[in-house]
Amino acid sequence: MKLAILHELNTERAARRPVILVTDTESGEQRLVKAADFAKDPLRAELDKQLRMGKSANVEAGGKKLFFNVYAPTAKLVIVGAVHISQALAPLARSLGYDVTVVDPRTAFASPERFPDVPLVAEWPDTALPPLNVDAYTAFVAVTHDPKIDDPALLHAFERNCFYIGALGSRKTHAKRGDRLRAQGARDSDIARIHAPIGLAIGAVSPSEIAVAIMAEITAVLRLPPKEEAA
């Protein structure tokens, strides 16, 4: 690999921009294709497909055997609510490779004693969230149970097009939340994006089990093809 390509690859990854490294496995020739340049690439269909799946693979094109190495940004997890569940969720998500941040304006909750080694932001969502650069490679969970904190956080998650948005609460709680968010300008399609009740239905009881259910659901959304295509 040419040093210039390696350097560019590291730069793009640091900036959380997806790229695919295309290698001709016979000649060793390589080129780096940025997602922003896919549209004008002769291999755009193949590039799009592999990035969507987040999977590196061999592709035959124009009589050449090519290897597409897909570099999608490291997924982030933003947890709004420094609650008991979050104490289990944060280390679990980190072990799965996520960059985790916990946000909670209530300093009694967002304390380093309760969250050793986890980046904590003890501010209201309006202040805490913008600097976190929440993006399409971010999973976002709101678990405070307090509408004053969860609602503005969820509105931010809609705006930033997070790949996963989850919120704690029963169906009844969630219906009320939907009404409140709509009153603040959220669309039905935004509300429909919220996974609530949060987590896969595995009968989770303890905070750790709920954390497993949440991470299982996030993993499924990240890795499985979108539902309309799965059919």
| Contacting positions for another protein (CB under 8 A) | 1-3, 6-7, 9-10, 13-14, 23, 25, 28, 55-58, 67, 69-71, 74, 95, 97
Query: Which residue, 23 or 144, is less far from another protein as judged by CB?
Result: 23
Nearest approach, Cβ of 55 to another protein (angstroms)?
7
Nearest approach, Cβ of 22 to another protein (angstroms)?
12
The C-alpha atoms of residue 191 and residue 206 are separated, in whole angstroms, by 27
Report helix, strand or coil for 61. strand
The C-alpha atoms of residue 8 and residue 12 are separated, in whole angstroms, by 6
Query: Which residue, 173 or 219, is less far from another protein as judged by CB?
Result: 219
Query: Which residue, 92 or 207, is less far from another protein as judged by CB?
Result: 92
Nearest approach, Cβ of 159 to another protein (angstroms)?
27
Query: Which residue, 89 or 196, is less far from another protein as judged by CB?
Result: 89
The C-alpha atoms of residue 90 and residue 194 are separated, in whole angstroms, by 20
Task: Give the number of other CB atoms < 10 A from CB of residue 108.
Answer: 9
Note the helical H segments in 1-138.
3-14, 44-53, 84-95, 125-128
Nearest approach, Cβ of 137 to another protein (angstroms)?
13
Query: Which residue, 11 or 184, is less far from another protein as judged by CB?
Result: 11
Note the helical H segments in the chain.
3-14, 44-53, 84-95, 125-128, 147-159, 171-183, 188-193, 207-223, 227-230
The C-alpha atoms of residue 68 and residue 171 are separated, in whole angstroms, by 43
Nearest approach, Cβ of 11 to another protein (angstroms)?
10
